[in-house]
């Protein structure tokens, strides 16, 4: 898994990308909408890791907790979009699609 806990907070750990275009392309980022408030970074990672090699994943949170959406950065993304779009995740039907910056 690529998320470690440092000083009580989850920290994603990734390999360094020497090519700056790979990190900015957005081509492999998947946007997940309508995520149940109980889903954390680990649950998101565990759920989507079945569909490919994950470089990073994050549920967006503020001081009140989950904002109900997140992002997963795959080496390739097609399988995750095809398999997960519209499925129930903790009784919430999620939207999964390409991230558009």
Determine the pLDDT at residue 14: 54
Which carries the bigger pLDDT value, residue 4 or residue 63?
A: 63
**What domains can you pick out in the chain, each with its CATH number?**
25-98 (3.30.70.330)
pLDDT digits (tens, 9 = 90+) for 5-59: 667 766 655 555 555 555 554 457 888 999 999 999 999 999 888 888 888 889 9
Q: Over 50: is that where the pLDDT of 1 sits?
A: no
Determine the pLDDT at residue 55: 83
The residues pairing with 29 across neighbouring beta strands, listed in sequence order, are 73
d(CA 65, CA 16): 29
Contact 84, 57 (CB under 8 A): no
Structure tokens at 99: 């991230």
pLDDT digits (tens, 9 = 90+) for 50-91: 888 888 889 999 999 999 999 988 877 777 788 888 888 888
The residues pairing with 93 across neighbouring beta strands, listed in sequence order, are 88
Determine the pLDDT at residue 19: 54
Q: What is the DSSP-derived secondary structure letter of residue 50?
A: G
d(CA 29, CA 94): 16
d(CA 25, CA 7): 31
């Amino acid at each position: 898994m690529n998320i470690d806990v440092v000083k009580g907070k989850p920290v994603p750990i990734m390999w360094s990308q020497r090519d700056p275009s790979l990190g900015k392309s957005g081509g492999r980022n998947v946007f997940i909408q309508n995520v149940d408030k109980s889903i954390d970074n680990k649950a998101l990672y565990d759920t989507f890791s079945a569909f490919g090699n994950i470089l990073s994943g994050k549920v967006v949170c503020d001081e009140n907790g989950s904002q109900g959406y997140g992002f997963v950065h795959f080496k390739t993304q097609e399988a995750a979009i095809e398999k997960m779009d519209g499925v129930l995740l903790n009784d919430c039907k999620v939207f999964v699609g390409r991230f558009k910056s």
